[in-house]
Structure 1
Amino acid sequence: MSDVLSTEKAEVAASNDVAVMDQYCTLPAQSPVFDSQKHFTIQPTTSKTGVVMKEVALMGHLILRGNSDNANFVGEASQVLGLELPTKPLTSVANDVTRIMWLSPDEWLIISSNDMMFDIEIALRAKLTGHYSIVNQSGGQTIIELSGDHSVDILKKSMPLDVHPKVFPVGKVAATIFAKSSAVICRTGETQWQLVVRRSFADYIWRWLVDAGQEFGLTIEK
C-alpha cells in the first residue's frame, strides 16, 4: 500500500480495518480512450456542429451500498457527502464537485474529482455504522459526455430507452443496453448527457459514438 500512497495517506489507510487505496495518488493513469482520441479522426457529413463529445476522464468512482430504509445510514452518508443521498429510484443529485446516482434500492454511484475520492472513502468508513459496503471503481470506469442539440439523436440510435424530456428529465439516471454493450446514462442538462461505461468497453463505445454522430456534425472536445 505504501507504494501507491503518500506517507500521510498510507498512515490514514493503515488505521482502517480494511485496505484502502488511492488509485490516482502516485501511479501513472491513462484514459481508456486515450489512443482513440489521439489517433482516431472523424469526417462529419455536415459542416454544422450538432453534438460535442468529450471524455470526463480519470474521475473518482465509488460504489456505496447500504439500506436506504435505514435513516441512520442515509443521514450519515449524506452528512459526509454534503448531498442528500437519493432514495427515489432513477434519480441523482449533484453539486459543483460531486454527483450521486441511484443505481438500485441499496446501491449508489458517487462520482467526484480523483483527488477527493480517497478522503471521501476514508470519511465514509469512519462515519458509517452497521452493515454497508464501499468499493472504489475509479480505475474500472470512465465517463463520456455528449452535449448539443443532436446529442439525444445519437442516444436514440444507440439504446432502447425513451429519452423524451417528459420521461427522462434532467437528473434522471438509468442503466441500459448501449450499442452491443451497456452504460449508466444520466441527463445532466437539457441537451447534456453523461454515459458511465466500463473501462473494457469504453474504446468500443467511443468509436460507436464517433460513427453514430457523423451525420449530426460531431465534434470531439479534448
Structure 2
Amino acid sequence: MSEAIERARTFDAFPDEGIPLESPLAWSFEHVGCPAPGTHSRVMMRERQHDHLILRGGAIVLDEAVRAVLGLSLPARPLELSQGERASLQWLSPDEWLAVLPQGDAFRVETALRSALGDASVAFSDVSAGQTVIELTGDDQALRELLMKSVVYDVHPRHFAVGKGVTTVLAKTSVILRRPDERRWELVVRRSFADYVYRWLLDAGEEFAIGVERDVTAGETT
C-alpha cells in the first residue's frame, strides 16, 4: 500500500460479504407494505442498493484517474450524469462528484484512485451507509405526472433530458433526481428520509397502480 493511501487512513466499510446488511427500506417493506405490480401498474418502484463515493478535487487532476479506474469520463458540465454499465458519475458542484458503484466496490475504487493520484490534493468520502437509490420505471407520462406532484424541479423532457441529475426538493426533503435513460428515473435519498420518500411515492403513485419490486439479491434482509 502506498504512503499516500496509508496517510489517508482508508478502511473497508464492507469487509465481509457474509455480514448481513439491512436495506434502508427494510422497516418500510415490513410495516408499510409492498404493493405487488399488476397488469394495470403504470409505475414500478424498486430500491437499488449501491455504494456511494463522494469525489472532491480539481477536475483536471481527477479525470484521468477516474477514466482509468471506472472507464468513465468525469462529468464536466453542471448537472451532467455519466452512466456506464456498472457505475455512474454525477456532477454535484465545480469540485465535487458522486460515484454510484456496485455494492461492496467503494473501497476498491477509492484505493485504486488514491494509488493513481498519489499526493494530489483530493478527498474521498464513502457515504454508502447514509443513502440509497429508489428507481422509478414504467409509462413515461405516468412517471412524469408522479414527479410533477412530488418535486419542485421542472421534469418536462425539454428541460430534463436524459443524462441529467439535479439536487432538488421532494415534498419536505431533499433528494438527487436523476434521469439515466428514457424510461427510468432515480432518486438518491438520505437513509433517514428513505421511509418518508417511500410512503410519499406510494401515496402519490396510487392513481397509477404503483407496484414495488423488491431487490432481495442486493443485501436486503428478509
State TM-score, norm by structure 1: 0.87
Q: Which residue of 2 aligns with 1:61?
A: 52
Q: Which residue of 1 aligns with 2:6?
A: 16
Q: Which residue of 2 aligns with 1:75?
A: 64
| CA separation of 1:15 and 1:67: change in aligned 2, threshold 3 A | closer
1:51, 1:213 within 8 Å by CA — same for their partners in 2?
A: yes
| CA separation of 1:38 and 1:12: change in aligned 2, threshold 3 A | farther
Q: How does 1:6-45 map to 2 (within 5 A)?
A: 16-26=6-16, 27-41=19-33
Secondary structure, aligned partner of 2:192? helix
Count of equivalent residues = 208
Identical-residue share of aligned pairs (%) = 40
Q: Which residue of 1 aligns with 2:120?
A: 130
Q: Which residue of 2 aligns with 1:48?
A: 40
Deviation at 1:119, TM superposition (A): 0.7
Looking at structure 2, the residues matched to 114 and 205 of structure 1 have their Cα atoms a distance apart, in angstroms, of: 22
2:43, 2:136 within 8 Å by CA — same for their partners in 1?
A: yes
* Unaligned segments of structure 1, at least 5 residues: 1-10
Matched, 1:217 2:209: yes
Deviation at 1:14, TM superposition (A): 11
RMSD: 2.2
Deviation at 1:25, TM superposition (A): 2.3
| 1:185-222 Cα distance to aligned partner (Å, 9 max, x none) | 10012121000011111111111111110011101011
Question: Looking at both structures, which has the greater relative contact order when contacts are Cα pairs under 8 Å and sequence separation is at least 6?
Answer: 2
| 1:84-140 Cα distance to aligned partner (Å, 9 max, x none) | 111111111121110001111110000111232211010011112421110000100
Q: Which residue of 1 aligns with 2:106?
A: 117
Range with bigger deviation, 125-134 or 195-204:
125-134
2:83, 2:180 within 8 Å by CA — same for their partners in 1?
A: no
State TM-score, norm by structure 2: 0.87
2:81, 2:180 within 8 Å by CA — same for their partners in 1?
A: no
| 1:5-52 Cα distance to aligned partner (Å, 9 max, x none) | xxxxxx8999621222222223432111112113323679x9711100
